[in-house]
Structure 1
Amino acid sequence: MAYHLKSRIELCGVSQTFSQNAQQVQLFQDLTLTIAQGHSYAITGPSGSGKSSLLMLLSGLAQPSTGQGYWLENDSRRPLAGLAKEIGYIFQQFHLLPELTALHNVALPLKLRGVKHAEQLAKSWLDKVGLGHRLQHKPAQLSGGEQQRTAIARALVFSPKFIFADEPTGNLDSQNAQDIADLLFACCEEQGAGLVIVTHSELLAARAEQIFNLAQGHCQLRQSKLQEVYRA
């Protein structure tokens, strides 16, 4: 495993609401849950239940309406906002920069951190995700599966402690979806990262160790019955 000290993320009594047509709409209330580095999780539930919002809260990219979120590591508790440099986030719509090649899209977060040999590292990750032959292609020249692979390489290139993926297979055909799922779980197992996936796919959710099911404002935790099958 690539990690030594395991980090954890905790949400304590969080609720999330938003305004719509001058009314307050509550997505969920009083949720308390923990995710740990080195483990995999799926967030499931009907459309509009708040799955993507919960993912944003866990990653520290959004703040809850009420309650608190913490990042725990090495006996210290810190605000989740401080986790930003330790996460990789895979957006449902990829969010690749259209003017940059695949190589430069993946290298950009490394360059922003001042990492030396950014393009060399980016190339190694594009090789890992099967895009070594598409380095100089821009997003418009890539298929949906290839764009998703580029987004995954970008999220994993700096060995984050946690990977957050919002519907990573939602826009892909069944073969590409299978390949992307295999890639995500394999990379995260090798790097010892925590993996949290929002998905409508029961098959994909079953590959996670734990499943958080959101419905009617509440969250039910269940163990994955099929996870050991995929590990075999």
Structure 2
Amino acid sequence: MRIPRIFTTQQLTPSSELLLEKEAGNHVSRVLRMTVGQQLELFNGDGNSYFCNILSVERNQVSVHIVESKSSNNESPLNIHLYQGVSRGDKMELTLQKGVELGVKQFTPLITERCGVKLDDKRWQKKHEHWQKVIESACEQCGRNTIPILHPVIKLQAALTHLNANSFFMHPEAKTGFKSISANIDSEIQLWVGPEGGFSDEEISSVTAHGCNPVQLGPRVLRTETAALAAVAVMNSVWGDF
């Protein structure tokens, strides 16, 4: 039986006792219904797994004894930074979740002309906090011990200043696929994907003028969440660990 994995922001030290944070304790006691003596795996993003025994469970207060730590490197060899046009509903969450599973190391949500999500600064901040939780949960599930970076939401034109020579954007009319591209896999690889409806013609011209390389994934038009995940999978297959 697989040992449950829980993310925590607390400092973790082998051979020590720890009272879990309220949210983690509530998940262990009320959702997983774990009991004294059962094993738990904790991680805080430092690259290690910490294996624990549960000492006590009282409502949502759970104390554990950290038995040992193990270092594991299951990160993708590619440093992929996904610049994703914000999509509606749960599509953005799906992209973040599966992007984590596929090894993406950084995410930057983009506000573009066709972005269907309109929020004020306060609600964008709440959205960012929610997305951060999605990323952490995805790490719990897939076994990553390093938490990908989620950058603040940014407008496309401002984000274009971040472009490097290793940048690609999804364009259904592009003539080039990833198999014919030689990327510098020792540097950050940027993938730019539009929202529902894609980038506008003006945005495509602007992105291209900044040196971003257009690529396509076959003759079919893909939805925004499909395009991002398929592209990351292809890059891992061509240049990475697939």
Identify the TM-score tier after normalising by the shorter chain.
under 0.3
Bigger strand fraction: 1
In our comparison, the structure showing a higher alpha carbon Rg is: 2
State the TM-score, normalized to the length of structure 2.
Answer: 0.26
State the TM-score, normalized to the length of structure 1.
Answer: 0.27
